[in-house]
Amino acid sequence: MEIINGLQPETFWTHFYNLTRIPHESGNEAGVRKYAADFADRHGLQYKIDVIGNIVIKRPASPGKENSPSVVIQGHMDMVCEKNRDKVHDFAVDPISLVIEDGWLKADGTTLGADNGVAVAAGLAVLESDEQLGPIEVLLTVDEETGLTGAMELDESIVDSRILINLDSEEDGVIYVGCAGGKNTEGFIPVDFDAVPAGYKTYSIVLKGLKGGHSGGEIHMGRGNANILGVRFLRKSAEKFDTRLAFIEGGGKHNAIPREFFATLLVKNSDAAGFEVYAAEYAGIIKSEFKIPEPNLEFWAKPGDEKAEQVYSIDSQRRIYDLVYSIPHGVIKMSRVLENLVETSTNLARIELLVNGKGVEGVNDTGETEFFILSCNRSSVDTECDDISDRVAACVSAAGGRSEFCHEYPGWDPNPDSEILKKAKAAYKNANGTDAKIKAIHAGLECGVIGKKFETMDMISFGPELADVHTPGEKMKIDSVKKTWKFLIELLRMV
C-alpha cells in the first residue's frame, strides 16, 4: 500500500487500493461484493443482495438529519480487462500493478479499474465517514461493462431512495445530466478453408500502439481503428499480389476502440519482394495519416516462422476483407441540440474466427466455425441507433452472413427542472470556487436504465478525471479525486 501513502482522502484511497487486489472482470464480481458485504458487517450496516448479484448498503440518517431525503450513491463493481499483448497478466487471479506518473495513478500494462472502482471506493468511504448526513444507500451493480446487466435486472425493492448520484463519469468539473442509449450488432459469416498452398512465404502482420479508448467517450477524437487499418492493408495487398489469409484477429471488448490487429498472410514467393516494399510504403502512409492522433502507431509485415495449418478460401478471404472494410466506424452524426455532443456513432470492436462456435469475445449457438464481427452502436436518438445497427447488419448480409442484436439499453434524457442538479451546481461552487459544466455524454450510463425503472428518480452523474479508459493506458488524476470528494460531501450535506 506504500504507493497510496499520503493520498487524500485516505479512506477512499485505501478502498481503491484494496479493490485493485481483487479480480473483478465483468461476470466475476463476487470478490468485490464480498468485500462490500464484509465492510457492512464490520460497520453494523444493513445490506441487501438481489438475485442478479447487485448489493445495496444502507446507512441510517445522522441524529438531526432524519427528515432529510434518502440518497443512493451508485456505480458498478466490474471493470474492463484489457492488457497489452506482451503483458503477462491473468485478470482472474492477478492484482493490478500500480504506478504513479506525473500526477496520475495508472496500471502497468493493463486497465486500472478506476472505471468504476471510483464509485465503489467513494461509496464505502461515505458510509464510514463522520459527516452528519441524511440516510445514504450505496448501490453497486454487476456486469455493467458487457451489457448493463445489473441495472437491467435490478430488483427495485432493494432501493428506497429517489435521488441518485452516479459516480461513473470521467471528467473533472462536469456534471452529466444525460447519456446515449445503444446496442451491439453481432455478425456471423460462414467461411471455408483450403489446404496451405506450396510456393508461398509466410508473413506476420502486426498493427499496434494505437490509443484505443472508450467507444463512447473517445469516439469523436479521430483515433485509428486497428481492425479497419489492418484489413485495409490486407485488402489492398490482395489486389496487388497473390496472397492467402491464414489468420486474422483484432480488437477486444465491445466498448473499446480496437488498439491491436494481428494476421498471418501467405505471399507467393515471386511476389514476396514487391509485397515487402508495399508493406513499408503502407506503414509510412498510415503513420503520416495518423501522426497527430496516433503518434505511437506501429505496423509491420515480417517473415514468420509459424506454420499455417490451413488458409481461408479465396471467396471467404474476399468476403471478410470487404465486410470489415465496409462496416461503418466512428461518428455518424453530431447533435443539433447540444454543442460538441456526438449523437450517433458505431465502433467496429472485434473480429475473430469462432472455432467450433467459440472465440475470445464471440460465441454462436450452432457450434459451427464462423467468422465473427462485433459492432457497438450508440445514439441519443433510439431510431438512429436502430438505423446504424441495421446498416452494420446490411454489410454482414452482403457478406453472406447473419446478424443478431443484443445488449440493448435506453438513453437518459436531461431534466432541466432537476432539483438535485440545482443543488449540485451550488455544492460544486461552494466546494471548489468555480462553476461546474453541465453536459450530456455519448457513452451509456446506468442512469438510463435505472431511470426507466424508477420514473421519479432524480439523477446526476460525475466523477474525477480519468483518461484512456478501457485501454491499458487507463489513468486517474490524483488531485481530481480530492476535488470530487469535496463536491460529493458538500452535495450530500445540502440534500
**Grid cell of 207 as nine digits:** 498493427
DSSP codes, 121-189:
HHHHHHHT-----S-EEEEEES-HHHH-HHHHT--GGG---SEEEE-----TTEEEEEE-EEEEEEEEE
How many secondary structure helices (H) and strands (E) does the chain include? Answer: 12, 23
Strand, coil or helix: 92: coil
Separation of alpha carbons 269 and 292, rounded Å: 36
Q: Is 390 a catalytic residue?
A: no
Q: Residue 298: CA atoms inside 13 Å, Cβ hemisphere, count?
A: 7
Look at the chain and count its residues.
495
Give residue for cell 500500500. 1
**Does residue 9 have a cis bond before it (omega within 30 degrees)?**
yes
Task: Find, among 169, 158, 270, the residue nearest to 216 by Cα.
Answer: 169
The sheet that has 46-49: what strands, in order across it?
46-49, 55-59, 136-141, 71-76, 163-166, 458-461, 174-179, 437-441
Strand, coil or helix: 190: strand
List for the chain the helix, strand, coil content (%; round to 5). 30, 30, 40
Separation of alpha carbons 27 and 25, rounded Å: 6
The DSSP call for residue 389 is H
The values of phi and psi at residue 473, to 5°, are: -90, 5
Separation of alpha carbons 335 and 343, rounded Å: 5
Which whole-number Å values give the CA distances from 9 to 32, 123, 477, 485, in the listed order?
21, 13, 14, 8
Angle between the N-to-C axes of helices 478-494 and 114-127, in degrees from 0 to 180, rounded to the nearest 10: 40
Q: Is 78 a catalytic residue?
A: yes
Q: Return the number of other C-beta atoms located less than 10 Å from residue 315's C-beta.
A: 11
Give the active site residue among 50, 144, 170, 218.
Answer: 144
Which whole-number Å values give the CA distances from 244 to 141, 240, 266, 400, 415, in the listed order?
46, 12, 5, 20, 55
- Which helix (DSSP H) or strand (DSSP E) does residue 319 occupy? helix 314-326
Contact 35, 29 (CB under 8 A): no
Give the active site residue among 78, 115, 260, 370.
Answer: 78
DSSP codes, 343-384:
EEEEEEEEEEEEBTTB-SS-B-SS---EEEEEEEEEESSHHH
Separation of alpha carbons 352 and 96, rounded Å: 27
Active site residues: 78, 144
